[in-house]
Structure 1
């Protein structure tokens, strides 16, 4: 049994250590690339640095239990082994989320990837509704969601923590001008840029809470 546990925890320790190093390194590389992408008109928001750095705790349980089994022939018991295993899986899932999750706003539309490798892409004029949920406690966080006419979720994120206001600014442009911005038109882009800030956009949608009837197409 001890050999089996050493093998299991050894595999998990190797995966979690190498995976964490890769994820953090890749995260920083992508952040630098995002700066260049922004100059090309693509605005990409990922988890913030603090959230990314939390992945350093991912190897904690595997390395600890591997060490304990190497230096001690006993076992912590099935209960603690199970709790540690579940905790390790949960932290690995979080690390995976940090690695793949992003929202991209470009002239082509809005692109989002969450838990799976599947990417969803929608043009701006497919957004029919926006719903803003304001956190009611310090343990919660604001959430803004965008939906199509058929009720499909186009994008959802916390605008404050991730400082992601671009899509909200585009939707606000649609509401105020009764048309979607032409992202090839410098004057439209300038107006969206002016609205692309938390102090301007967040209170605006907090006050409205929910807006519908914006889409030109149904997807």
Structure 2
């Protein structure tokens, strides 16, 4: 398969890129610096690298990037710095989601393209009316006001839920919601749930980035797994010992 990855030099995007390449897929990646890609991807004929900021590409250039792709994976996130959190673009993930979906539609693909969004358990799936406590509701309200990345993640997932929806002929989607992200050297056991089973604010679980990459890779490769989760926002936790 041919797969476009946005955020391929990020902490999770690097792991996803390595996994998909090792499984024999062709990759299209747009990165600010090719030197930040995993060494195993540099100079490979199955990896097409464009050095640019994603938002510097025109609509036509972005459409060319996703042309003939079977899947698009969005692993972008805000840098944990003052500039990354409060600088522009404030709607980094939302705008990337919108533009990539528009780019997919340019080519009127004969079969739906898989769109995978890396999201967060702090975001609720409105289709399931997921309950949260009053205290968590208050905290999330503050996060929306004080931390722009939080509403950005919410709005990106909401775009897929409300604007793309469940029956789109060109795009199928899954928004993967990890809990507190941690680093790990190897894939470990993890559990998947339609909704959070614990409070993202007051009882957060742990999810290793390599497990997120493994799940996203499996979604792309496994048609049965994809059919089970498409149009949903699965929550992923590391399995507790």
**Is this a same-fold pair by TM over 0.5?**
no
Tell which structure's C-alpha radius of gyration is larger. Answer: 1
Q: Which structure features the higher share of helix residues? A: 1
Specify which structure has the bigger relative contact order, considering alpha-carbon pairs within 8 angstroms and separated by 6 or more residues: 2
Question: What is the TM-score when the length of structure 1 is the normalising length?
Answer: 0.29
Q: TM-score, normalized by length of structure 2?
A: 0.27
